[in-house]
Amino acid sequence: MADTTQFNIVVLISGNGSNLQALIDACASGTLPNTRISHVVSNRKAAYGLTRAANASIPTTYHNLVPYKKKHSPDDVPRAREEYDADLAQLILSLSPRPDLIVCAGWMHIVTSAFLTPLSAPPSNTQSTDSSDPIPIINLHPALPGEFAGANAIERAWRAGREEGLKRTGVMVHEVIAEVDAGRRLLLGKWS
């Protein structure tokens, strides 16, 4: 008898959602067997990825940093980011079914420990029937390890190729940790 247990993924996006679409297609085709995208969260209201999710009947949530910044002075942006991240973690932890994995696919927001810590801990409700395992978080980053960390990696790699003679680039999937784009590498592709 085949295992029919669903592996639930929450995908975080900020834009077009082309990587989200690849995941949607992989789930639909069976390339990712017994896997479904159970929720999509975007930090941009006009992100086309929200339309892609809706077209695939995937629930979505819009969760934006701007209201958090408005509650604080410009000098206190780190506190606003931490509050935003803590609320984002709680939003994800409140989802049913509880996600087995969080995928940052074009998510243009660097998360803080206020996001990472709650997701790495077992649920506080000991009566919960959900798994008590931490929820792994992975990121698709369009650069090789140690190169072009953070935002705009594609543009920076292109500029380095044009202006500095960079002859190779790549992409990696890595675990998300507090240090930007420095988590344990899971997959790597290189191009010359």
Q: Which residues are catalytic?
A: 141
Which single residue is written with the structure tokens 């780190």?
Answer: 78
Three-class secondary structure of residue 175 per DSSP: strand
Q: What's the half-sphere exposure (Cβ side, CA atoms, 13 Å) at 137?
A: 24
Give how far Cα 153 sits from Cα of 96, 118, 119, Å: 34, 28, 26
CA distance 116 to 111: 7
CA distance 99 to 134: 10
Here the tokens at position 176 are: 């998300």
Q: How many helices (H) and strands (E) does the chain have?
A: 6, 7
Beta-carbon neighbour count of residue 45 at 10 Å?
10
How would you classify the pairing of strands 185-191 and 101-104? unpaired
